[in-house]
Structure 1
Amino acid sequence: MRPSIKNLLQTFAVFGILFAVNLTALAQKLSVNDLKVEHLINPLAIETPKPRFSWKIASTVKNTLQSSYEIRVGTNKASINAGKDLVWKSSISTDQSVLIDYSGAELQSKKKYYWQVRVKDNHGNTSGWSEPGFFKWEFLLQIGLQNGSQYQEKILLPEARFLEKSFPYKRKLNRL
């Protein structure tokens, strides 16, 4: 008995619908993007030893709000992706995603740190971990006294030390 063309088309239509439904179910409904540290994307030098993190969420579902987040910070990309050797991790139930304070161990100057975040929404969906962002903490301004009462200021650019410049200040400083 040979199947009719109508039966074959019906079978293909059913399999096509099932395939499309499965792909939609597997697709990530929630994602995290636009990672920033102190309002900057992957900054090579930030001034604060306690940086603040921000991100945005994207969802295919309408009226989606963040209900919690997990954030992790590490010293290399491989360990951050594996979730191992982290310097800080935190999980908080909040809709806040702007200027989240770092509250981990003291950061080392001139060291590059990587970070990731994932979120849960008000529909119960959990995003995957974001692509790692990075930042580097470094003193950008050093002020000190040199030669008794002279004032010295050095502007330090993180990747361009050859541009260091001293500015003498001739006026006498008043001390308390």
Structure 2
Amino acid sequence: MPLPIEYGPGARAKLVELCRRFNIQRPFIVTDQGSLNLPFVAELQQNLNAAGLACGLFGGIEPNPTDTSVLEGAQAYRAWEADGVIALGGGSGLDGAKAIALIARQQRCNVWAFDFDKPVPAGFVAADFPPVISIPTTAGTGAETESTAMVTDTRRGIKGCVWHPHARPAAVILDPELTQSLPANLTAWTGFDAIIHALE
């Protein structure tokens, strides 16, 4: 995907610069429950606050994001009066954050208005969606570059894909140091996930 990518050990230090590039003054970190208490989450939040960028945090994304947690995240985004999303974590954290960004500025529709299996909803422009800076903590799937997000429909009990072509991430930070803080089992699982994606 043709979007800006900051790569290398310690690349997460570029987050403040990227926020300023995309006019994010009140960033809102969205991450998954498994990553919420890892040290780099607090580190990023502290760095943003120290730079004068008041940073909110939502860590309620489940291992398989649900439309319920996406709605809660969007409500928290609005309560923080945020103007940008920092999508942080593995695939679930990234998907949850991208889904939240779809509806964070919308009062007239829910996340399933952006169902991939339906026609693209008309009348939306890029400004209808907050900028998203994605920071994956696992390696392999490329979810950090895509506009799509997998979400569980709690009413129907199935997974579905949501997206909008104007809601793709604005930039990506690929910092391999972040993968070192993962538990060994998560490192193994995500490695096999990448292998299966490649085989498919």
User: What TM-score, normalized by structure 2, do the two folds share?
Assistant: 0.21
Structure 1 or 2, whichever has the larger Rg, is 1
Which has the larger share of helix?
2
Greater strand percent: which structure? Answer: 1
